[in-house]
Structure 1
Amino acid sequence: MLELFILGYCLFFVFTVYTSFMQISFVQKAKIQPAVILDSTKYEEAGNYSIEKERIAMASAFYEFVIFFAWIGFGLQTLDALIQVEQGWLKAIIFVDAFIIINWLLGLPFSLHSTFKLDKKYGFSNMTPALYIKDTIKTGVLFLLFGSAVIAVIAVIIENLPMWWIWGFAFIFAVIILINMLYPVIRDKMFDKFEPLKDKELESKINNLLTQVGFKSSGVFSVDASKRDNRLNAYFGGLGSTKRVVLFDTLVEKLSHNELLAVLGHELGHFKNGDILKNIGIMGFVMFIFFAIFGNLSEEMFLGLHINNEPYAIITVFLMFSPIFSFFLIPLISSISRHNEYAADEFGSNLQTKEDLVTALLKLANENKSFPLSHPLYIFFYYSHPPLVERLKELGFEPSSERLNDMALQSDYVKEEV
């Protein structure tokens, strides 16, 4: 069985590198062609950013490939020999925490390069070393406290319950739902500064929009995302009574009221179409399959890794190999997501106008330096959203049309009252 898992990882690695290679080759050719959607300067810059990002992804994939085989060859066995603890749940905490921390340390050079070199170069990152360290410490504390608690519970379930993988799935699924409920509260208390919107006219318009759709939230907030990054974004965070509308301060600054309402209308389309519940259902189904696979591994699997078939080993093997299964499920999940995005675009454009949504998408593409074209294979595997070119066509705007070009140039575009 271990041989099959290793073969799967090798296929995962080959596909990852190949799709990155094809994307780089595609963008290199596309960026010297006449600009599409973006002006020529930003078009070339977005292409360069896309290429550099993929080159880093390829280098990271090779690096992780070596680390993976180091873990299989001697790493897991060495770590197991170093941790001489009898108590199952305690060994699971120490072993899995050590495994995760070592991987994080090994991947730190790529994280630092992306944050402090690549993103700085293209004007995205505002991160300072002090803020990076502060965020890292907070994240580490959360992981050591809550992550270790989750590991301990899973270890106890594995040791004491027959068909443990069913109960383990139920527990982890419940934890994920809880995290989604608490996410905006955690971000507010530990990482970001959430404030009520200062623009009361905009707040009133948003509340009217939410009422119109029947979306109940605990408030509309602006978050100081610009202290870390200049990208534009917004999201609906939380579940149940913790639901809130969160706008990045960069988004509030760059988009007009109508454009911002169109973006929120798109997000509300996901709510109205039940996409959030569908996504939770898909996630639950995939996770159940994963638990069924990793809950029934053969003894030979662990013998091949030179570790015992115990909770710490089962959890670690899950963390090592689940990305393989996820990767080959991505195309299906991405296809469903792209379909949902088209429907959400339609909903959002009906709440405002298609022109409002189009100009908002154009601004997002410009500010986020999103290259508008990608290789079909790359889209197939990785795009959870349709390419901007296709979204604009679906909304009735040809990327090469004079009308769209005029809209892209007029950053202070205001819709005409009809």
Structure 2
Amino acid sequence: MRPSAKLLRYAILFVVYAVAMALYVRYTSPNNVPAAYQGTPADPATFFTPGQLRDSETLNAARNWIFFLSGPWEWLIYGILLLGGAARRWNEALERRRLPAVVRFPVFVLLVNAASFLLYLPLRVLGYGVSRSYGISTQPLSGWLRDKLVDFGVGYATSLAVTAVAFWILSRRGRWWLKLWLISIPFTLFMMYVQPVVIDPLYNKFAPLSDPKLEQRILDLAAKADIPAHRVYEVEMSAKTNAMNAYVNGIGSSLRIVLWDTTLQKLSEPEILQIMAHEMGHYVMHHLEWSAAGAVGSTFVALAAGGWLYERIVRRKGAEWGIRGRADWSALPLILLLLSVLSFASLPVSNAVSRQAEGAADDYALRLIGSAEGAVTMHQKLAIASLSDVNPPLLVRWFRDTHPSDMERIADAERYAQGPSR
């Protein structure tokens, strides 16, 4: 079958899939809680207004549809670059100019990244438009575009470094995927270290917490949890979103406790302390270290499985697709395609692990503070701010949700308030 015919077939399958997912997200009832929870604080009807319930239903259907389109959309882009021959033609055109490899390779990677970025942009614009229309995003289009350009720049720099090493190792003999995995370990740890101190400030403004009394309460809580924190940071997010968040990230000296300014504006002190105690739970239970170990382990699996598939596809289809060997730069879209498919397929596993860790952090927060004061209302306010679906459908839970549902978290806090088992 000709490459153009294959692309057409995939495009038709994509349309059929898009329609099927639209029906799924439309008819899996958002915020539909079991009878046992109806009328309780976990029931959205008790804390959402009727208008918010309607908005949550339509907004989450749109969010979930866009999410389920994102993977296949990305695969279609890589298929166009690969089967349509664009990557091969760019590579050959650069070779004809007889430029040195140190010039040709960055240009080639830039072309692939730019094409992927531009072809994926319509889906990003759709997501931004939906979030903006429901008042979740408050960011002007100019600011949103700036962030996307920063995304592109950071992504290109990272991609250039990673692919340069990858193709160099591919050109050597031996178990190239194992060598790549070994090199990826220090790279993963380095990225975790620089994320809060180098990359995050590219997008948002960070400053010491503006409320010194609240900061001291949080630091006292951190001391109680034996966390060596000396400063709490506030990040300016209100110009971008009405949603709320807080987090602890980084490793070693780059560790940061961070609160969004929207969280400070909309939550009471007991609610803020609950959310901060949750984040401290991640630190105390070594979830950051386990996250790093999980990233290293999942990279091993992805490279082993992806390497096996890559070798066989290049042997069987390489000549047809203009790939002259496993180290041919023209194979870059194929590598990106395999990594994207494997990443999407692994989501149910990684999300299940994440939900377990988040549930454990919720439990730790209640025990650290010693009460459920503020926990129920905190989860309710977080749900209202993002118009979340408090009880998502099965496929959404498997593929998208990294946290327990709001219904589960509120119910757990209620049970603790009524008499926790210590």
TM-score category, normalised to shorter length: 0.7 to 0.9
SS of residue matched to 1:372: coil
- Measure how far apart 1:113 and its partner are: 2.8
Distance, in Å, in 2 between the alignment partners of 1:347 and 1:206 is 15
Residue-by-residue CA offset, 1:223-270 (whole Å, 9 max, x unaligned): 111122221011112110010111110011111111111111111212
| Matching residue's letter, 2:227 | F
Distance, in Å, in 2 between the alignment partners of 1:77 and 1:311 is 9
| Matching residue's letter, 2:90 | L
* Partner of residue 384 from structure 2, selected from 366, 382, 390: 366
| Preserved contact between residue 335 and residue 384 of structure 1 (Cα < 8 Å) | yes
Match of 2:279 in 1: 267
Match of 2:109 in 1: 96
| Preserved contact between residue 20 and residue 378 of structure 1 (Cα < 8 Å) | no
**Match runs of 1:249-398 below 5 Å:** 249-296=261-308, 297-298=311-312, 299-309=315-325, 310=327, 312-313=329-330, 315-352=332-369, 353-396=371-414
SS of residue matched to 2:171: helix
Tell me, yes or no, if structure 1 residue 83 matches structure 2 residue 94: yes
Tell me, yes or no, if structure 1 residue 70 matches structure 2 residue 80: yes
25 and 361 in structure 1: CA distance in 2 versus 1, 3 angstrom threshold:
same
| Preserved contact between residue 24 and residue 54 of structure 1 (Cα < 8 Å) | no
Match of 2:47 in 1: 38
Report the identity percentage.
Answer: 23
53 and 214 in structure 1: CA distance in 2 versus 1, 3 angstrom threshold:
same
Residue-by-residue CA offset, 1:308-334 (whole Å, 9 max, x unaligned): 221524543221112222222221222
346 and 249 in structure 1: CA distance in 2 versus 1, 3 angstrom threshold:
same
286 and 350 in structure 1: CA distance in 2 versus 1, 3 angstrom threshold:
same
| Preserved contact between residue 330 and residue 382 of structure 1 (Cα < 8 Å) | yes
Residue-by-residue CA offset, 1:285-323 (whole Å, 9 max, x unaligned): 111122223334132242343222215245432211122
User: Which deviates more from structure 2 when the two are superposed, residues 61-70 or residues 198-207?
Assistant: 61-70
SS of residue matched to 1:157: helix
Distance, in Å, in 2 between the alignment partners of 1:329 and 1:146 is 22
SS of residue matched to 1:247: strand
User: Which deviates more from structure 2 when the two are superposed, residues 204-213 or residues 388-397?
Assistant: 388-397
Distance, in Å, in 1 between the alignment partners of 2:121 and 2:223 is 45
SS of residue matched to 2:333: helix
Distance, in Å, in 2 between the alignment partners of 1:214 and 1:29 is 38
Match of 1:411 in 2: none
When normalised by structure 2's length, the TM-score is: 0.82
- Measure how far apart 1:396 and its partner are: 3.4
333 and 164 in structure 1: CA distance in 2 versus 1, 3 angstrom threshold:
same
SS of residue matched to 2:248: strand
Match of 1:196 in 2: 208
- Measure how far apart 1:189 and its partner are: 4.3
Match of 1:226 in 2: 238
**Unmatched tracts of structure 1, length 5 or more:** 405-418
| Matching residue's letter, 2:47 | L
CA RMSD of aligned residues (A): 3.2
SS of residue matched to 2:90: helix
User: Which deviates more from structure 2 when the two are superposed, residues 228-237 or residues 36-45?
Assistant: 36-45
Distance, in Å, in 1 between the alignment partners of 2:354 and 2:200 is 28
208 and 304 in structure 1: CA distance in 2 versus 1, 3 angstrom threshold:
farther
248 and 99 in structure 1: CA distance in 2 versus 1, 3 angstrom threshold:
same
User: Which deviates more from structure 2 when the two are superposed, residues 292-301 or residues 223-232?
Assistant: 292-301
Q: Where in structure 1 do 4 or more consecutive aligned residues deviate above 6 Å? A: 12-17
Distance, in Å, in 1 between the alignment partners of 2:158 and 2:263 is 32
Q: How many residues align?
A: 391
145 and 274 in structure 1: CA distance in 2 versus 1, 3 angstrom threshold:
closer
User: Which deviates more from structure 2 when the two are superposed, residues 280-289 or residues 71-80?
Assistant: 71-80
SS of residue matched to 2:374: helix
**Unmatched tracts of structure 2, length 5 or more:** none
SS of residue matched to 2:229: coil
SS of residue matched to 1:192: coil
378 and 18 in structure 1: CA distance in 2 versus 1, 3 angstrom threshold:
farther
Match of 1:416 in 2: none
* Partner of residue 26 from structure 1, selected from 5, 28, 44: 28
| Preserved contact between residue 169 and residue 179 of structure 2 (Cα < 8 Å) | yes
Match of 1:408 in 2: none
293 and 378 in structure 1: CA distance in 2 versus 1, 3 angstrom threshold:
same
220 and 28 in structure 1: CA distance in 2 versus 1, 3 angstrom threshold:
closer
**Match runs of 1:403-414 below 5 Å:** none
Residue-by-residue CA offset, 1:335-356 (whole Å, 9 max, x unaligned): 2222222211111111222232
